[in-house]
Amino acid sequence: MSAAARVAAIQLIVRKTPVAAESRRGPVPEMFGENVFGLEQMRARLPESAYKALHSCMEHGQELDPALADQVANAMKEWSVERGATHFTHWFQPMTGSTAEKHDSFASLEGGKLLMEFSGKALVKGEPDASSFPSGGLRATFEARGYTAWDPTSPAFIRETVNGSTLCIPTAFCSWTGEALDEKTPLLRSTEALSREAVRVLRQLGDERVAYVYPTLGCEQEYFLLDRDLWSLRPDMVATGRSLFGAKPPKGQELEDHYFGSIAPRVLAFMQEVELELWKLGVPVKTRHNEVAPSQYELAPIFERTTVAVDHNMLCMEVLKQVATRHGFQCLLHEKPYSGINGSGKHNNWSMSTDHGENLLDPGKSPEANMRFVVMLAAIMRAVDTHADLLRVTIAHAGNDHRLGANEAPPAILSIYLGEQLTDVVSGLIAGTGRGSERKKETMRLGVNTLPSLPRDATDRNRTSPFAFTGNKFEFRAVGSSQACGRPNAVLNTIVAESLAYVADEIQKLKGQKGLEAAVNEVVVDLFKKHQRILFNGNGYSAEWHAEATKRGLPNFRNAVDAIGNFCAPKNVALFERFAVLSAKEAESRMNIMFEGYAKAIAIEAQSTLSIGRTMLLPASQRSQAMVAQSVAAAKAAGCDVKAQEKRLRDMAMRVEQFVGAIDELATVFEHAEQHGGSPQEHAKTYRDKVVPAMAKLREIADGLETMVDDAEWPLPKYREMLFLQ
């Protein structure tokens, strides 16, 4: 790669025009879900009894009868073949952060003839090789057998290409010995636990109607777009998803002119095709806009059941990347592709709903709704405060370390934002004065005359809070943009289930003695008093908050390695086992995989840094240094004043010498890290403590050289080009 290639790429980019979408256009309601084997297709193709049985299985998680599975499989096959499918795959989410699939055709031979068949057995169970997926010590590498099991709560769908289509069946993934090897299984388990404990609380509050409760989710997906001609000239972007080098450009996001700005035509064409593809897959995307940083964007959906929403977010990331390629872009999902400007998150909007469609976090005007809301609020406060360490682990990885604690992302300290009105309610309950301080002290009668009616948008939004109440949901803002969101939501469901179980037990103990209102009042006030330290409405970025959080005793795990070690704390393993979300072995495997993932990510970055530094940046810097030296010599020979030029030459020579030393230093510490023995945690610590600082030092010197080296010599596309050429 040369500076000439960079110039050629720039000249090509400025001539590019929007790409027309290949997708069939038509009314969105008719297009929506056309590639999904959803309820409408099931009802049309299955006998009434089979449809009702399958629908009940999907709603309540009941086991599927083998005879019904055959009927469903045949209907699914007929539908997908009509739409051009030749193959099917069990689509699952191993612990790699992405999805996996092994394609099998519907073809079978009978009497020398090719038939298209699909059995209930093939629908319900698959057997991909599990040996090459991360297991974190759950199994030996040679133990290859793994199983996929159909998840009927998430509908099957078809992925189309120009050469054919494939039926994708969402599944769970487990080992031969039954341990979960994926992110979907714990999510499904946690959903059942949450439903069970939420229904128990509702029963204690006198609600006999609700049969089950399910968590809901809306994932706001942030991403960057980079022209592929520039991306291909950046080995760091290709290998790691972020720029390991790059001096700050004259203009970044300082003018705040990109946020919600007019969308560039070429980008808009890409967004429109993404939406068409996602609508066909039944993904209810709704919002698109420019984000804060140049070349940064956001896509947001309508809320769905969490188990489906997680699958849809995985699809969303896949479609973004695939459509970007067609439009000549590279979609960057890394949390921090560019140093010095905003990174990307995946705001995890979470709530709970009943089988009657009632949002349990929707403040109401009736006494019953108010009581229910305040109980749920108290339970969630307790969950986040009690299990802040565990919730922090779910968003801990190498990519998110560049973002958490910075000015564009929530701090690593877990706190809850409620807004002034709800905080006032909580404070009034704690003080025993109702809502207003002017009231005389009295027993709180929930939902009667001391709790105000709360409108849906009773709070402003606090962008610096990691866990903010935003009207009828909590927004977990700290989830990273590249993450599979199954694990954060599985843990969130589990900690809330545990807290709801506690609340149900406490109300039940007191209700017989004191009556419902007094029992609820005592439990809620006690929880607010014990866990009010988790509430914070101010600026989460401020140094004052960090000092205040320390005073309150809130945990502050500043990096992924410190956070991950808490996953298998005895209290957390006991929690997972109590609610049958993870066994002790499954929990330990996930912790090991997180440590290994961190070490591998830093190792790839270190090797890329060394390669680019040695083979691209150092030669370019030395060539430029030689050119300056020749210029100085020529000026001296001509009798010119060369003081300024000599100073420039000395500065450059010093920088080049420092650069060579920093390369050698990084090479030494990286070699030591590679040879380091010990546990996965100790290995990750070595990379964090030795390799990461050495990479940062090398980058600082290189970025200084970038501002000194002749522009025609610098081989890497610069920030000004990557951020603004679209």
| Confidence check: pLDDT of 717 > 90 | yes
| Confidence check: pLDDT of 443 > 50 | no
CB 412 within 8 A of CB 404: yes
Q: Above pLDDT 90, what percent of the chain?
A: 61
CB 540 within 8 A of CB 547: no
Sign of CA dihedral 10, 16, 18, 22: negative
Instruction: Classify residue 613 by its DSSP letter.
Output: I
Q: Phi and psi of 214, rounded to 5°?
A: -135, 145
The predicted pLDDT at position 141 comes to 55
CA 184 to each of CA 65, 148, 187, 582: distance values in angstroms, whole numbers, following the listed order: 22, 11, 5, 12
Mean pLDDT of 149-166: 90
Helices (H), 115-158: 120-124
Greatest C-alpha distance within the chain: 103
* 191-242+258-582 CATH, one of 3.30.590.10, 3.30.450.40, 3.40.50.2020, 1.10.510.10: 3.30.590.10
pLDDT tens digits, one per residue of 219-259: 999 999 999 999 999 999 999 999 999 999 988 887 878 88
| Confidence check: pLDDT of 142 > 60 | no
| Confidence check: pLDDT of 449 > 60 | no
Per DSSP bridges, beta strands 416-417 and 467-469 are parallel
Tell me, rounded to whole angstroms, the distance of Cα 415 from its chain centroid: 19
Which residues, at least 6 apart from 299, have a Cβ–Cβ distance to it below 8 Å? 220, 221, 223, 271, 274, 275, 285, 287, 288, 316, 320
Q: What is the Cα–Cα distance from 214 to 357, expressed in whole angstroms?
A: 10
pLDDT tens digits, one per residue of 194-208: 999 999 999 999 999
Beta bridge partners of 215: 352
CATH class (in words) of the domain with range 596-724: mainly alpha
CB 435 within 8 A of CB 424: yes
Instruction: Classify residue 38 by its DSSP letter.
Output: -
pLDDT tens digits, one per residue of 63-82: 677 778 888 888 999 999 99
Band (437; pLDDT cuts 50, 70, 90):
very low
Region label for 256, one of left (φ > 0), alpha (ψ between -120 and 50) or beta (otherwise): left
| Confidence check: pLDDT of 139 > 70 | no
Q: What is the Cα–Cα distance from 531 to 15, expressed in whole angstroms?
A: 58
pLDDT tens digits, one per residue of 122-136: 888 887 776 777 777
CB 149 within 8 A of CB 129: no
Range of weakest confidence among 96-105, 274-283, 400-409: 400-409
Range of weakest confidence among 39-48, 447-456, 557-566, 716-725: 447-456
Band (451; pLDDT cuts 50, 70, 90):
very low
What's the token pair of residue 669? 């510490």
Range of weakest confidence among 21-25, 516-520, 698-702: 21-25
What's the token pair of residue 623? 């060539």
| Confidence check: pLDDT of 582 > 90 | yes
CATH architecture label of 32-182: Roll (3.10)
pLDDT tens digits, one per residue of 634-656: 888 888 887 888 888 899 999 99
Q: What is the mean pLDDT of the chain?
A: 88
Q: What is the Cα–Cα distance from 418 to 458, expressed in whole angstroms?
A: 9
Q: Above pLDDT 70, what percent of the chain?
A: 92
The predicted pLDDT at position 574 comes to 98
What's the token pair of residue 3? 């500076």
Per DSSP bridges, beta strands 156-161 and 36-37 are antiparallel
Q: What is the Cα–Cα distance from 250 to 479, expressed in whole angstroms?
A: 30
Range of weakest confidence among 334-338, 370-374, 567-571, 693-697: 370-374
| Confidence check: pLDDT of 109 > 50 | yes
**pTM of the predicted structure, to 2 decimals:** 0.92
Run of H or E including 550: helix 543-552
pLDDT tens digits, one per residue of 423-432: 888 888 888 7
Which residue ranges make up each domain of the chain? 32-182, 191-242+258-582, 596-724
Per DSSP bridges, beta strands 113-116 and 107-110 are antiparallel
